Structures are given as C-alpha cells and as structure tokens.
Amino acid sequence: MTVTPNITISDGNLVVHGKTILTGVPDNIVLTHGSGVGLVAGAFMGATTSHSKSLHVFPVGVLEGVRFMCLFRFKLWWMTQRMGTSGKDIPLETQFILIESKDTTQEEGEDVQTIYTVFLPLLEGQFRAVLQGNEKNELEICLESGDNAVETNQGLYLVYMHAGSNPFEVINQAVKGVRFMCLFRFKLWWMTQRMGTSGKDIPLETQFILIESKDTTQEEREDVPTIYTVFLPLLEGQFRAVLQGNEKNELEICLESGDNAVETNQGLYLVYVHAGTNPFEVINQAVKAVEKHMQTFHHREKKKLPSFLDWFGWCTWDAFYTDVTAEGVEEGLKSLSRGGTPPRFLIIDDGWQQIGSEVKEDPNCVVQEGAQFANRLIGIRENKKFQKNGKTKEQDPGLKHVVEDAKQQHHVKYVYVWHALAGYWGGVQPAGPGMEHYDTTLAYPVQSPGVLGNQPDIVMDSLAVHGLGLVHPKKVFNFYNELHAYLASCGVDGVKVDVQNIIETLGAGHGGRVSLTRSYHQALEASISRNFSENACISCMCHNTDGIYSAKQTAVVRASDDYYPRDPASHTIHISSVAYNSIFLGEFMQPDWDMFHSLHPTAEYHAAARAIGGCAIYVSDKPGNHNFELLKKLVLPDGSVLRAQLPGRPTIDCLFADPARDGASLLKIWNTNKFSGVVGTFNCQGAGWCKVAKKTRIHDASPDTLTSSVQASDVNTISQIAGSDWNGDAVVYAYRSREMVRLPKGASLPVTLKVLEYELFHICPIKYITPDISFAPIGLLDMLNSGGAVEYIEVQLDSEKKVEHFDGEVASELSGSLSKSWSPTATIALKKRKCSNGQLKFKSNQLLMILSS
C-alpha cells in the first residue's frame, strides 16, 4: 500500500494539495511527515545550520499570491489578528497562520476545492519557535531558548502544518492529531490505562493500544468517519512482544524471551493491527483474528462461565487477611445471612494452607520487610486453623467440615479456595515431606526491564533474595491434580489462582517466560477440568499476555489491582481501571471487579460499579460490619444478583478522555440487560498511577464538580436490544435522583457529580404496540441494576379480551389498556426475575412498566 502525503517539498517548493505555497525553500529546511491522520494531511517543518546559537532566524521560503489570517503577539501579554497576501505582511511573534489556496490536483472542469493549511510553531526541547516575515516576502522561523548558554544548531519539529478542505476541522486535527488509549502494566501483576497523543506518551509494558483518527480518504465529506485502530502485541514462538514509546515519539516493539539462552533475529507476527469505525467491534474482531492465528487461547464467547457469577458472594480476604479461621468463616456467613443477604458463593482466601519458612532474620540482608512473601507451601492440606476446634482426626479433614457446614447450615452453593500459581507466594518447599516427587528447586526471579522501569514490588524484592520453590514444569500437573483432587474431596467447587505473573520471571533454563507460563497454564486448566464440575477458576494477578494468550478454558479474570479499603488514593482509580481494562480483558474472560466493603464511605460508589459491571458481586466485610440497606439493592432474598449481560466498558466518548486525571471528564460505563441498557456515570478524578513517584497517588485533593451528558446511543448495542423497528425514543430512569424522562432520539440528559458520586441511567427503548399505545419496562426501581429484573416480554394485540388494570403488583402476566373505549387493546405478557425460594414480591421494589399514549 502506497501512502501519498498532501504536503511535500519538491524542486525547492512547498506544495500543498498540488498548490505551491512557498517557493525558494532552502536546502537546510527539513520536512517530516506526521502519524495517524497527520501521515497524509500533516507534516513537521524543521531546519539545520552549522553553527549552534541560542537564537536563530531560518528563512523557509517565499510566500506570495495567497490569502492568510495570522495571530501574533502585539504586546508581551496579548495576541491579535492580521490578514495579508504575502510574507512581508506577517508580523513578528506570529504564533498561528491559516492560509487559503486551491487544490490544483483536480482536473479542469471540476469544482476546484479550496484548501486551508494551518501553520503552528511549536516548542522543541528547550527552544520556542515563532513565525515572521521579511521584506523579501520570505516566511521565517525564529527559534530561541531565552538563555545564551542554551544553544542548538537544529530543530526538526519546529512548525506543524496540516491541510484540508474544512478550516475548522484542519485546525482541530492539527492541534489534536491522533488520540490513543493504552493499557500497560504499571507493576508486575496489573494493568491500568494511560491516554496520550504521541509516541512518548506510551509507557513501558504496553499490551494494548486503541488509536482514534479520521478517514482522510473521504475528506470531501462533511461527516468524515472516525477510524479506530487497535494494536495487539503478541506471542511468537518463545518470545513475547510489548509496545513502548520513546522521546523521539517513535513507537517501539520490545521483544524478549526471558531466557538468555533463547535468542532470535526476527519476529514476523509480533503485532496485530485492525481498524474500523466501531471501536468495540474492531477490538472484538481483532482478538478473534488473533485467536484464529495463534490457536493458543479461546475468546470469552466460546467459554462456559461458572455459575457463581449470578450469586452474591463473600470473600474472607479483607475481613481477616491471612488470619482467617474456620470459626471466622462460619461467623461471616451467619452475619450476612441474619441481615437478609445470604451469600451463596464463598471464597476462602489466603490463610488456609500449610506454609513454612526457612527465612531467618539476618542483619546483613537488605530485604526484611516483605520476607513473609518468601513463605513456601509445605503440604497440600489445610492448616491447624481449619482443623475444626483443633480436634478433627487426620482421616476426617477439617476443611471438609467447614465446606459442609457452609453448604448445609448456610445454604452456600459454591465454595472456592485460594492458592498461588506456584503453590504459595514463595512456591513449594523443595524436598518437603510428602512433596519430594514434584522435583521442586529454588529459583530466583529476574524481572523484565519494562516492569522494572515502572513500579517496583516488595514481593519481588523479597523473592529475589530468598528465592522461590519452583515445581518442575513436567511435574506441575501432578502437583495441581493432587491439590485439586484433595480440595474436591472436601466439597470445594473451584479455585482462585493468584500471583500468576511470577512465572514469567522464572523462565531461565526452562525455554523462557512464554514456554514456562504456557506449561503451567495448560497443567492448571487440565487439572481444573478433571477435578471440578464447572469451569471453576478465578484468575488473579495475571495481567501479562504470556498468560492471557494461553487461556483456553479460564473464563473469569480479576480486572485490576486490589480494592484497598484503607487507601484513599485507590477508590476512584479502581473504578476507572476496571472499566478500561475490561475493554481488552473482556474479550478473553469475564472481568471480575473485585470485592468491596459494604460499610465504608465509598461503599455505594463501588456497589454501583459492580451492579452494572457484568461481574461477580461479592463483599469482604468483617462479620457484623455490614450495610444491609445497600446490600439489598444488589442482592435478592434468595442470594441471587441481577448481573448485567456484558463486561462493563467506557462509552465511546470516554475512550480517549482521562476521567482519573484530566480534571474535566466524568467516566461513563455502559452495559446491557435483556430489554434495556444502562449507563453508569462516575466522578473518578483526583488520583492515579504516577510515573514519577512510581505508585498510585492523589494528585488533586479537591477535584471539581463535573458535568457531562447521557444519551441512548451511549449503550453501544442499544439498537440490537430494541429491535429493527425501534425509532430511537427511550424512557430513562435515573436511579439516585429517581427521575424518569421520555428521551427523544438523539436527545441527551445532563448529569453533574462531585468526586466519588455516581448516577445510574436505565435506558429502556420504547416499544410501540399501536400508533397510540407504547410502553417501556423499567424493572425493580430499588435495585441498582433495575433492568436486570425483566426476564421476558411478549406483546399481543387483542381487541376483545377483558382489560385488567395495572396496580403496581405484577404477576407473571399483565394485561392493560388505557381506556375501555380504545381499540385495539394490548395484552403484555411480562415475566420478572423470580427467586428460587418462590415468587419475588417487594412492596418497595415494584416492577415498573411505563404505558403511554
């Protein structure tokens, strides 16, 4: 494919769309074409000279016979405008020029287009450029540093030029260029988002880039389509590729094996690029194309989702951390059930296993803090804390009693337990009693330079000193199989597998990071398939493409860094990170937006996000510390939840904004239910990952109150829900304000939020029964995901049937008419979500359906 730029220097002339703008361009003037939309329509102008100085004036060519408007500083403080037709009309201190010319590339007889070219003098390094004219009608670049000690002999990006047929679009595109959103690993385990406009904005360890640009092949159209291009760095053989930028604004591919003995001199399939006009379709199609090419993973749509996702859960982690006991588990289940929100899904997190450590305090050891992460697994059974009251006989496992009590006494349906991919944080004890056959050896992690260039990690500092007990990859299936078989014998239904990315650091001597990771993942999935009845795995601390592109079976993935109840900097960035990470991760697995505390200053904010995230809904409350009023907005009396249908993702207009940092944007997250869409709006400003401090920090302690707007089309697939005959009208129910609005096609609703505030908009397409009668099913008004309660709708015209009036109590069928004199009458069969323990009825949670004429 050949790309022909619209701005060139030819035979000493600067030519724009075939029209000569400048003549007599000197040989020391350099032209560099832009990227994205600027590749064709834009170019940078620079200049070189043999002498270094702090102030240069570079003539760039003669300007005559055109019309222009420029903006110049007429005094130190202010600019004003000046119009002219030649170089001598351009004042000193000109900071903007817009030139009008004709497109002479078109054939005679055609309507010749007017072309507008904008000149923007820039800053480069320590220097500032402005434009000016002289008496020879030459356009000049004046370049200065303002410090005689700061000199240069060149500037390659001194003026940016952009051309097109619409002057306002030209100026907009010149200033904006391309916008991108990328996902990068800010620490070994997790990704977060970063937005930018040039190569230097792309961080190390970038695993996904989405770029926005304009289709410059259709410049004659007023409605030029926006093009979205996704870049997916891949695995090839034993090598893994990631993307990164540099100070020259270049996009780089970093290719590594993780083993000095595994080398290559090429990679032919390192990055897959896919483009189109709908960003969500582009990403979906790109991942499916990569799936077909690599054949090492499956798309989420092909995977069976585990059933626990549709039930309310409780995790022991933030309730007890590693101090969890059998008694603590029982008390937690009792506490939540007594309040009317019974957990049907239980995760027994870190703290149940038999672990030991040979790490001794050593005054000469650099790493003491975090030494607990070097603890190793010494047996596959539970520890003494889970030997019920300390009296259980060896042949009667204590874990089995805990699981049986949970299921029989508290009606828990699914019990999952935690383990690390390597067994425990520090792996498996080498030659431990009963574990000798795993051929475990001590290994010392070596991190990728990209990870080291972002955020250091205390876990890795500890393991680099104390080592990790690595089960030999040929024996790791035996290890998983024995562990999982024992858990299954105790009634456990699945596992949460954590600390996964540690394996990428241990590839030396095992064929590299990709080979070792794939061996471990294949063994893990084979064991889970053999020992558990469902696709029963939650994948955690796993945001590397080594594992993502190796997951054929695993269907649930933690979407971001942890929920940290005690860290004020973590709450807003948590919501934005889970949403942006789900854009990529949601193509492979169902993202899990993590547990939260129901009794916490930010509890409702987190609950609202989980309600529309399409994720599991579970808390990690300490026993007795619950907000049942809030939980009942998430959990039905039987313990089930109203889960949205898709991974929650930012709306299109938020994809390239930065709702955590820019001080201007609200985050909008969209999702769908069976008969409606939902858009959650969140003020997430004030905190994010800092590349200088190399940690998540608060950068604005008092973010502003912000305003945005919501419309039906924010739900990307709303037309598919509504059907082909939908005219675009909708009823919108705002959950917090309790306002209900009929929204015509294309109209929008304003929303204003303070930091840590939210609003949920339930968008219900209006269904027309007759030209005079229409309706929209809203759902259970008191539930955060109101529309998730509507299971089935059928409309039948019947002019003879006797009418029953809707009175707020909804049976499985509802017949209604606005007037007996109207004909025909509509019969609407509507089924709402039922509890497994009977008919769902709430006086306060009425299922609302709007009828109108």
Cα(543)–Cα(412) distance, integer angstroms: 30
Question: Dihedral (C-alpha) 792, 797, 803, 808: value to the nearest 10 degrees?
Answer: 30
pLDDT, position 397:
84
pLDDT, position 815:
38
pLDDT, position 387:
81
pLDDT, position 71:
96
Cα(521)–Cα(510) distance, integer angstroms: 15
| 4 close to 16: Cβ distance less than 8 angstroms | no
The residue ranges of every structural domain in the chain are 7-176, 179-295
Angle (deg, nearest 10), helices 398-409 and 326-338: 10
Cα(803)–Cα(826) distance, integer angstroms: 9
Name residues whose C-beta falls within 8 Å of residue 707's C-beta, 6 or more positions apart in sequence: 666, 750, 751, 752
Query: In terms of Cα–Cα distance, which of 513, 525, 518 is closest to 484?
Result: 525
The pLDDT averaged over each successive group of 10 residues in the chain (853 residues) is 72 90 94 65 89 95 94 94 96 96 60 88 94 96 96 93 88 76 97 93 97 66 80 97 92 96 96 95 96 97 97 98 96 97 98 84 50 89 82 72 96 98 97 94 96 92 94 98 98 98 97 98 98 96 98 98 96 98 98 98 98 98 98 97 98 96 96 97 96 93 96 97 93 96 95 98 92 88 96 74 39 39 58 52 46 50
pLDDT, position 405:
96
Which tokens hold the place of 840?
A: 């769902």
Name residues whose C-beta falls within 8 Å of residue 5's C-beta, 6 or more positions apart in sequence: 33, 39, 40, 43
Which tokens hold the place of 183?
A: 């996902």
Helix H, strand E, coil C: the string for 298-320 is CCHHHCCCCHHHHECEEECHHHH
Cα(758)–Cα(734) distance, integer angstroms: 11
Distances (CA, A) of 684 to 201, 459, 573, 693: 21, 29, 6, 20
pLDDT, tens digit (0-9, with 9 covering 90-100), for 390-429: 555 556 789 999 999 999 999 999 999 999 999 999 999 9
User: Position of tokens 């200065």?
Assistant: 144
Query: In terms of Cα–Cα distance, which of 707, 421, 437, 656 is closest to 541?
Result: 421
DSSP track, 176-233: H--EEEEEEESSSS-EEEEEESSGGGPPTTEEEEEEEEE-GGGTTSSSPPEEEEEEEE
Cα(47)–Cα(587) distance, integer angstroms: 47
Cα(339)–Cα(429) distance, integer angstroms: 43
Distances (CA, A) of 461 to 374, 442, 452, 467: 10, 16, 11, 10
Distances (CA, A) of 651 to 279, 450, 500, 732: 10, 30, 30, 17
Give bridge partners of residue 152 from the DSSP assignment: 53
pLDDT, tens digit (0-9, with 9 covering 90-100), for 253-309: 999 999 999 999 999 999 999 999 999 999 999 999 999 999 999 999 999 999 999
Cα(215)–Cα(212) distance, integer angstroms: 10
Q: Tell me the one-letter amino acid at 663.
A: G
Cα(669)–Cα(283) distance, integer angstroms: 17
Query: In terms of Cα–Cα distance, which of 383, 590, 408, 420 is closest to 491?
Result: 408
pLDDT, position 771:
80
